[in-house]
């Protein structure tokens, strides 16, 4: 599903590569935590998978697409198979929760009938059916992240990329978001989540890929944030 082979990314003027000979295979249905200190390469790796950036050398295949050779005109179509959730929600402030979710379907040309059915369904899944008409400013941080999650999964993506999705949330709210991500994963969506949250990783006991200075230094299944005991 995701195949990264000997990927190096060297940014101009940087003293060392952001990614250095990184190889990683992620299978369908996996839930993978990317961990490591700031500057370890987590965000660079996520950008490569999303095809927001391309490596200096190496190869990346996602969902059968060669992300080095894919023409730029096809990148938007490729991204329709990916959902993305960020730390800072990135909701449209003047649109309601339902309109934020609907907008992600409108831009890819889904029919009004499909949108009318899909949006209430996904808001129900994330527990926000009663907040459909609320603006982001009327929602708590946890509720805003649930809207962002609903927007990311409404098109039933094969892969969900989550970049520090609990970074701005309190522990109880974070636990609720993780429970939602687990449900989404159990339904078949592959999840790759970059995080600094030790508690979430330790509790999750999923596959943990640790980066340090652009290299993968650990890849363990059923692990915690630190070295497994």
- pLDDT tens for residues 130-178? 999 999 999 999 999 999 999 999 999 999 999 999 888 888 899 999 9
Q: Report how far apart, in Å, the C-alpha atoms of 140 and of each of 90, 134, 136, 143, 182 are.
A: 14, 11, 8, 5, 21
How much is the average pLDDT of 66-88? 93
The answer to whether residue 228 scores a pLDDT higher than 60 is no
- Percentage of the chain modeled with pLDDT above 70: 99
How much is the average pLDDT of 42-63? 96
How much is the average pLDDT of 78-103? 94
The helix/strand/coil state of 62 is strand
pLDDT of residue 229: 43
pLDDT of residue 226: 75
Contact (CB, 8 A) for 218 and 208: yes
**Half-sphere exposure of residue 32: CA atoms within 13 angstroms, side-chain side:** 24
Nearest to 209 by CA among 24, 39, 67: 24
Q: How confident is the model at residue 227 (pLDDT cuts 50, 70, 90)?
A: low
pLDDT of residue 87: 84
CA distance 166 to 138: 19
How many helices (H) does the chain have, and how many strands (E)? 7, 10
The answer to whether residue 94 scores a pLDDT higher than 50 is yes
Q: How confident is the model at residue 86 (pLDDT cuts 50, 70, 90)?
A: confident
């Amino acid at each position: 599903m995701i195949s990264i082979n000997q990927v190096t990314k060297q940014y101009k003027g940087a003293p060392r590569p952001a990614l250095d000979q990184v190889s990683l295979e992620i299978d369908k249905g996996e839930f993978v935590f990317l961990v490591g200190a700031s500057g370890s390469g987590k965000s660079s790796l996520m950008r490569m998978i999303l095809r927001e950036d391309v490596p200096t050398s190496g190869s990346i295949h996602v969902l059968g697409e060669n992300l080095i050779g894919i023409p730029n005109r096809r990148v938007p179509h490729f991204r329709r198979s990916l959902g993305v959730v960020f730390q800072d929600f990135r909701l449209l402030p003047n649109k309601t929760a339902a309109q934020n979710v609907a907008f992600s379907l409108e831009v890819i040309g889904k029919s009004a009938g499909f949108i009318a059915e899909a949006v209430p369904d996904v808001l129900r899944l994330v527990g926000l059916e009663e907040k459909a008409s609320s603006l982001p400013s009327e929602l708590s941080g946890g509720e805003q992240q649930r809207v962002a999650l609903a927007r990311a999964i409404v098109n039933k993506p094969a892969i969900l990329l989550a970049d520090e999705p609990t970074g701005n949330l309190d522990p109880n709210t974070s636990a609720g978001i993780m429970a939602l991500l687990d449900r989404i994963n159990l339904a078949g969506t592959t999840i790759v989540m970059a995080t600094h949250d030790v508690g979430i990783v330790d509790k999750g006991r999923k596959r943990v890929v640790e980066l340090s200075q652009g290299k993968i230094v650990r890849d363990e299944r059923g692990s915690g944030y630190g070295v497994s005991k």
